[in-house]
Structure 1
Amino acid sequence: MCSNSLIDFFYVYQYQFIDNLSYILPPSTFYDDTNLMEKQIAIVKKIFVENGWEGDGKIGLIWIPPFLDESFDDSCGSLVWHVKQDNDGISFIASERKLFSNRLLENLRKQLKEASDLKNDKHLSDKLYNSILVFIQNDIVSNLNVFIDECYLKFLFHIFNCKNVDDLKLKPIKAN
């Protein structure tokens, strides 16, 4: 049922809350080629992240039967990618074609109205701006710490794997 080629463009939707995950199937159910499946999952993960996914949850596929209006294949049905974010329950759905679900459209209208209402509240707007700024600054510091840790670790691996060919003076330190 899955294409033999990689798909790199998807329409992404958010929906809250999909609680019954029993019908979400592992991608291996639909892919014979494991290499192709892993490449497609990497593309889908990247697209989900670009649309607000925080990277947690299990990615799977939802089969849409051909008799439903959202399906775009009259004989086999259609597949859409899904992941439910663990921390807030938001589901991200990726489809290679637009889905014409009234509930998805209503959800999008609701999100746009909430965003529009924020724009009109100056105090809330400033508070939101400051919260986002603090979040971005924390993210930058966190990424810098990860980068420094990775550099230090690579440096240590180099020293130990190459038997200290650079003849660096190493001393034990007391760590608390």
Structure 2
Amino acid sequence: MDVTVVEGDLTAQEVDAVVNAANRRMRGGGGVDGAVHAAGGPEVLDDCRRRFPDGLATGDAGWTTAGRMPARWVVHVVGPDRHAGETDRTLLTSCYRRALEVCEELGARTVAFPLVSAGVYGWSREESVDAALEVFAEGGWDLDEARIVAYGRDAAQVVRSRVGRTT
């Protein structure tokens, strides 16, 4: 599986699946979650309500339609909120691992990730990238590409510096 880095808009990626850093309720919100719901339109929210009436647990993942986005699916992950005391790093790696597992179940070949839990959930960009790379390096994934999409130049520089250290 190739790991690529893109500076840009996650919701505009032409991949099989985009990963949404969602909250437990899976009803939209701010940041990546708000952008995914806005770009995907009401179909994403309707599918979240139907498939996940009680939401998802931290570290878990599930899929919905991508609605109006160019991707086919959205894989929603619930990242740990460091500010709320969720400091167990295995919850963060679980988001990336579960997202890849869901992608494989769907038959997706390409997937675009945000920096899960970086930002309002208090994990650093470095921690998020390192968690992703750790899971990607486990190998055995039946995907062609895992794309890390960084929003903004500063985030992209952090991601590129971390990816460059491990490849």
TM-score, normalised to structure 1's length? 0.25
Does 1 or 2 have the higher relative contact order (CA < 8 Å, sep 6+)? 2
Q: Is the strand fraction higher in 1 or 2?
A: 2
TM-score, normalised to structure 2's length? 0.25
